[in-house]
Amino acid sequence: MPFTNERRTPEQLAEIATEIRRDIIRSLVEAKSGHSGGPLGSADIFAVLYMGGVMNHDPAHPHMPGRDRFILSAGHMCPVLYATLANAGFFPKSELLTLRKFGSRLQGHPGRDMMLPGIESSTGSLGQGLSIAVGMALSDKLLDHNGARVYSLTGDGELEEGSIWEAVMAAAHYKLDNFCMIVDNNDCQIDGRVTDVMNIYPLKEKFESFNFHVIMVDGHNHGALLAAFDEFKTVTGKPTCIIAKTYMGHGVSFMEDRYEWHGKPPSPEQAEEALKELAE
């Protein structure tokens, strides 16, 4: 489907999200390393953001002034960002098979220095990407005044980083209503359940106490995600946090809701089974 900023239907977005998941599997099995669970679980969010008419961007002009920006604070989840950018037309899909290879522009964390279209900042050190995104939103308020919005996705395990809350405090202090934080709330991190490793709940009340507008949403429901981003655009005087309930490895039965799949790729046999499930 050729890129357009026009709004797509939830049914169309579901098809796009499935193709993103297929590309994640293909790239990971070729790389023989990388993160499976989070990228598969967040594919619906990315499909809606980039191809649901939510963000103002143009793959043919990735540096256009006034564009909306996306910062993947949870940089290890980059297979879903790469697959989304390729499906949106930022670069050829064939390049996805170079993931994590020597000399590739698609490294294990997004690198601005790789000159890959669509990458707005290097990220990966957990907690720092959100601060970068807040800085971009503040810059537009103070200097550019071009109406651009900034979106940033964090993992829920990433919320255990203290720098996250410094960024949240700053976003609220400066009333950044052009800033949307998205929490991929799958309750999984590399060595267990978030609730067991370092309990972060209750999330809604925490963000509200920082003076965020909070939206709770099913992160696999494309219509609900579209409505959440629409709501964000109506909020004035405060930043927004969309807490998206997702399941790690969503779409692949043997990975679904299993934290063990946080940081490992499928074997060739597992990839074949996953692609078969996604085809169905």
pLDDT greater than 50 at residue 1: no
The percent of residues above 70 in pLDDT, for the chain, comes to: 99
- Residue 249 CB neighbours (<10 A): 26
Query: pTM score, two decimals?
Result: 0.97
pLDDT at site 5: 73
Write the burial class of residue 115 (CB in 10 Å: 0-12 exposed, 13-18 middle, 19+ buried).
exposed
pLDDT, tens digit, for every residue of 61-79?
999 999 999 999 999 999 9
pLDDT digits (tens, 9 = 90+) for 253-262: 999 999 999 9
Determine the Cα–Cα distance for residues 9 and 240; give it in Å rounded to an integer: 24
Q: What is the mean pLDDT of the chain?
A: 96
Q: Which domains, and CATH codes, for the chain?
A: 10-279 (3.40.50.970)
Provide the pLDDT confidence category of residue 52 given band limits of 50, 70 and 90.
very high
Give the pLDDT of residue 29.
98
What is the reported pLDDT for 162? 96
Q: How much is the average pLDDT of 190-218?
A: 97
CA dihedral sign, ordered 33, 37, 38, 40:
positive
- The confidence score (pLDDT) of residue 94 equals 97
